[in-house]
Amino acid sequence: EIMLIQSPATLSLSPGERATLSCRAVLSVSNSLAWYQQKPGQSPRLLIYDASNRATGIPARFSGSGSGTDFTLTINNLEPEDSAVYYCQQRSRWPPVYTFGQGTKLEIK
Amino acid sequence: QVTLDESGPALVKPTETLTLTCTFSGFSLTTAGVRVAWIRQPPGKALEWLARIDWDDDKFYSPSLKTRLTLSRDTSKNQVVLTMTDMNPVDTATYYCVRAAPTTGGNYFDPWGRGTLVTVSS
């Protein structure tokens, strides 16, 4: 299994600011990485796949970048509704085994 | 519209076997490239992938849990069933049924069911 390490654990920012979340893989995963958003009491929602592609209906304020072992989720012009825990996820090629990072909690104050 | 809905007991006792059913709509598990998976999340903790079943009935399990997990499907009912044996209090979690998005080669999960909370306690 390829471990994913997310940082920071918690991020507190104000509306209108930019959030930068990091996900590091212990081994290269090429660009096979996704980001999910989980708001309190809700199921996770796919935001970004293949490192930089936005999922259907995701605003352009959300963007992903990176390849190999280092990935970033950037959220521009933060809104209060962006308060959530964000997870990164990858899939090992074969056999398929999926792993998630431990999450970054984003607080918008 | 693709939807998935989990059902099963809210409470199980230690050492018992958990059986969860995922009933889905908006797609068929017999269509090439379609995959359904289970993921769990202990309260306040991170997500953990458990297992995946494919359109051709291939099954894949988490290496750390594979001795306890079994997947099956009923394509006529659009259902996937997960069983987990020898339940322990550390297995207390919300269990999600998800589709592995076919447009991504099954690499990622979209959409997710609402999840069902299972508590393991005597």
Kindly report the average pLDDT of chain B as a whole number. Answer: 96
The model's pLDDT over A75-96, given as tens digits with 9 standing for 90+, comes to: 999 999 999 999 999 998 889 9
Q: What integer pLDDT is reported at residue A105 of this predicted model?
A: 98
Average pLDDT (B93-97) is 98
Query: So what's the pLDDT on residue B102?
Result: 80
User: Which contacts qualify for A62-67: CB closer than 8 Å, 24 or more apart?
Assistant: A62/A35, A64/A33, A64/A35, A66/A23, A66/A31, A66/A33, A67/A30, A67/A31
Q: Which residues in chain A have Cβ-Cβ distances shorter than 8 Å to B112? A: 43-45
Mean pLDDT across B47-60: 97
**Do residue A102 and residue B109 have CB atoms under 8 angstroms apart?**
no
* A52 pLDDT more than 90: yes
Chain B, window 27-46: residues with a beta carbon less than 8 angstroms from a chain A beta carbon: 37, 39, 46
Query: What is the per-residue pLDDT for B101?
Result: 85
Nearest-angstrom CA–CA distance, A37 and A57: 13
Looking at this protein, which amino acid is placed at residue B2? V
pLDDT value of residue A1: 81
Which of B62, B110, B115 has the CB atom closest to A97's CB atom?
B62
Residue A4 has a pLDDT of: 98
Q: Where are the beta strands (DSSP E) in chain A?
A: 4-7, 10-13, 19-25, 33-38, 45-49, 53-54, 62-67, 70-75, 84-91, 98-100, 104-108
| Res. A50: pLDDT tops 90 | yes
B98: confidence class by pLDDT, cuts 50, 70, 90: very high
